[in-house]
Structure 1
Amino acid sequence: MCDLRHRHLAAQTRAVLLERLPAAAYRRRVREPVTALDSFLGRDSELARLGRISGTRLLTLVGPAGVGKSRLVKEFTGGRATWVGLGSVADVARACAAALGEQAGREPALSALVRALAGRETVLVLDDCDRVAAECAAVLEPLLLGCAGLTVIATSREPLRVPGEVLFAVPPLSITDAVELFADRARANQVGLRLGDRDALAALCARLDRLPLAIELAARLVTLLPVEELLARLDDRLELLNRGNRTAAVRHQSLRAAIGWSYDHLSAEEKHVFRCISQGSGGFGLDVAVQACDLPADRVLVLLSALVAKSLLTSTGAGRFEQLESVRLYGRERFAQQWSTAGESRGEPLKTADQ
């Protein structure tokens, strides 16, 4: 009954939201509807907030790895938009043209897009813009200027920084929705499963940062480990949470890969600061970061700002910063690997982050 209630609420909410989308939503060119094979739980507040956004032609959903940006957009649009996945794409304009069924021929792909969309009203979803954020910006500004009927919804771990862009930060699930998601996915792995103490479930989901990806990966393990034992082993979550859907992109098949996707696209200085600040626990201020990174304060502030923009760090105001626990554990792992590699190159004993 609970699942049916949520489906009904989601359907009602989506109907209201689509009425509030720009006029292009009514007459969008439908290609392949985006559907999901499992249930969508929670996010009523986020759907309502999205429905109140009006007048923007570029809406970017931003947030950390595994927070559920793409799934939220699928629910918001109901699959009635042209979907362009950019996770493994090199040419953004050509990918958009292909999704819209346009063949550029000898004409540049961007010119073909502008020509094709200039007289149409279309909603375009650009999913996973992280790796090609600069390319997306270069395509979207002339495309939006030249196509008055175009509305774009993007998902990214960082802003695209295009004029007129409106950012929507996707937060982790509420603890109630996180527990419900875990229970739903766990019972899908073992029909009739009894999950036991709800407080243990809530503690587990809180330790997993209430991230849908981490919760779904953990739910696959309840056939092997009871919830209490799984909770006790969460310091090893990067090793444990590695059984994602086979049909998902590689970066979504494990928690380590999801966070690593963000880390791999940092600059060398950003990686250094990320590794250093991950050695602490809880929140910290600029002074602590400067001491940990051994860099000038102004430079550290610039690099912390970059990490915040790329959803690897959160600014809590008043010069304070926080990391998700899963992200911090990944940073510690990379810090330890750095010292191990440095020790090997000097012919010294291998060192860990705590030595």
Structure 2
Amino acid sequence: MADQVATCAICGTTTAASRHRRARYCSNACRQRAYRQRVNEPGPALDSFIGRDAELEGLARSDARVLTLVGPAGVGKSRLAKEFAGNRAAWVDLAGTSDVAGACAQAFGRRADEPVLSTLVRELNRNTLLVLDNCERVAADCAALLEPLLLGCPELRIIATSREPLRVPGEVLFAVEPLSITNAVELFADRARASQVGLRLGEREALAALCAKLDRLPLAMELAARLVTVLPVAELLNRLDDRLELLNRGNRTAAERHQSLRAAIGWSYDHLSAEEQHVFRCISQGPGGFGLDGAVQACDLPTDRVLVLLSALVAKSLLTFTGTGRFEQLESIRLYGRERLAEQVRRGQTPAANR
């Protein structure tokens, strides 16, 4: 029987397949590349994905070549990108690197003697979807890399997850908001019941109040759900003013910044400039909402400077502008700011002294 026509699963090259076996790859090089992609892409999720149907539809409708998922710590940007991209994308996690181009090239197995950009252009002309996860600490380097990649790979689309925009030409921002209260309750109940079979959670009103208090952030609710084996929901709700101390039992295999709510918010705070940290601490003293005049009074800085710094905090998903002249903070983020302010006071520093 004559050989059948087949195509390589990696590069699409036509190959010969015998009567008994259809070859998946045209060469050892493509076989090794497929292995590297399996190693670098995130594996299948081991827990259920709840809510976000509207977000998935919105991502599918977008034709932006650079679509950046932005939002605060713990809101679920990476998980949403994972659900959307599935196994269609080349995936690069940038959380632990300062070399964006090198991390991308390494994911594709660049040879030591091969230029980084040449490797990426060649490989990304075969992969039309690239996910860059956790870009916030290397946003400038991401921006510097993306423009030549987009010019060299006309079919390439990039999904980025970041707590702040990359600010590259053609970028479209996709704001990932906290879950709706209905989906938040569903997520909390799902994770709580996974902690103990047959667990009784009590009234839905108490669950809704708990999720609202946790800002409807998926990470916060998943961490809180681990405590229902030792605290009833009503008592847990009463203790949430101390949530940064309580919510510290993440999955053992999760990244360190997702092991606790404090670490998740601290990942953003530690990346702020000294002035931005000063404003962040000062505005945490008040309630969740405030105007520009209140921020100027709290920060003891000129109005124009405060406005610039508030804008930076909005861009970095630590603050929200309502559009009516007021700013708002999630309660978990505000409590973190108060904690850092209290540390400063204990060291004998006034807020102004540490600008």
Range into which the TM-score falls when normalised by the shorter chain: 0.7 to 0.9
Q: How does 1:208-219 map to 2 (within 5 A)?
A: 208-219=214-225
The aligned counterpart of 1:328 is 334
d(CA) in 1 for partners of 2:266 and 2:256? 11
d(CA) in 1 for partners of 2:231 and 2:88? 40
Pairwise CA distance, 1:220: 0.1
Post-superposition CA distance 1:71-125 (Å, at most 9, x none):
001111123211101110121111111212333x2344234323443x4342110
Give the conservation status (yes or no) of the 8 Å contact 1:94–1:110: no
Runs of 4+ aligned structure 1 residues displaced above 3 Å come to: none
| 1:227 to 2:236 alignment | no
* TM-score normalised by structure 1 residue count: 0.86
Pairwise CA distance, 1:242: 0.1
d(CA) in 2 for partners of 1:209 and 1:220? 17
Give the conservation status (yes or no) of the 8 Å contact 1:102–1:116: no
The aligned counterpart of 1:60 is 68
The aligned counterpart of 1:22 is none
d(CA) in 2 for partners of 1:151 and 1:143? 10
d(CA) in 1 for partners of 2:127 and 2:113? 25
State the superposition RMSD in angstroms: 1.6
The aligned counterpart of 2:15 is none
Pairwise CA distance, 1:46: 1.0
d(CA) in 2 for partners of 1:116 and 1:225? 51
- Greater displacement, 57-66 / 39-48: 39-48
Pairwise CA distance, 1:324: 0.1
Alignment equivalent of 1:109, drawn from 113, 116, 133? 116
d(CA) in 2 for partners of 1:123 and 1:52? 15
Which runs of no fewer than 5 residues in structure 1 stay unpaired? 1-28
The aligned counterpart of 1:79 is 87
Give the conservation status (yes or no) of the 8 Å contact 1:263–1:271: yes
Pairwise CA distance, 1:327: 0.1
Q: What secondary structure does 1:239 align onto? A: helix
d(CA) in 1 for partners of 2:118 and 2:276? 36
Aligned residues with identical type, % of pairs? 77
Q: What secondary structure does 2:251 align onto? A: coil
- Write the letter of the residue equivalent to 1:325: E
The aligned counterpart of 1:198 is 204
Post-superposition CA distance 1:232-288 (Å, at most 9, x none):
000000000000011111000000000000000000000000000000002110000
The aligned counterpart of 1:7 is none
d(CA) in 2 for partners of 1:42 and 1:101? 36
Q: What secondary structure does 1:87 align onto? A: coil
Q: What secondary structure does 1:49 align onto? A: helix
Largest Rg, 1 or 2: 2
The aligned counterpart of 1:339 is 345
* TM-score normalised by structure 2 residue count: 0.86
When residues 342 and 106 of structure 1 are mapped into structure 2, their CA distance, relative to the original with a 3 A threshold, is farther
- Greater displacement, 89-98 / 154-163: 89-98
Q: What secondary structure does 2:177 align onto? A: coil
d(CA) in 2 for partners of 1:123 and 1:65? 25
The aligned counterpart of 2:286 is 280
d(CA) in 1 for partners of 2:280 and 2:80? 28
Post-superposition CA distance 1:212-246 (Å, at most 9, x none):
00000000000000000000000000000000011
d(CA) in 2 for partners of 1:136 and 1:156? 11
| 1:93 to 2:82 alignment | no
d(CA) in 1 for partners of 2:348 and 2:141? 35
d(CA) in 2 for partners of 1:78 and 1:45? 17
Which runs of no fewer than 5 residues in structure 2 stay unpaired? 1-32
d(CA) in 2 for partners of 1:81 and 1:185? 28
Give the conservation status (yes or no) of the 8 Å contact 1:60–1:159: yes
d(CA) in 1 for partners of 2:71 and 2:257? 15
Give the count of matched residue pairs: 314
Give the conservation status (yes or no) of the 8 Å contact 2:288–2:330: no
Give the conservation status (yes or no) of the 8 Å contact 1:120–1:149: no
The aligned counterpart of 1:298 is 304
The aligned counterpart of 1:148 is 154
d(CA) in 1 for partners of 2:113 and 2:140? 24
The aligned counterpart of 2:267 is 261
Alignment equivalent of 1:47, drawn from 56, 76, 80? 56
Post-superposition CA distance 1:53-82 (Å, at most 9, x none):
12x111100000000000001111123211
- Greater displacement, 230-239 / 86-95: 86-95
Q: What secondary structure does 1:317 align onto? A: coil
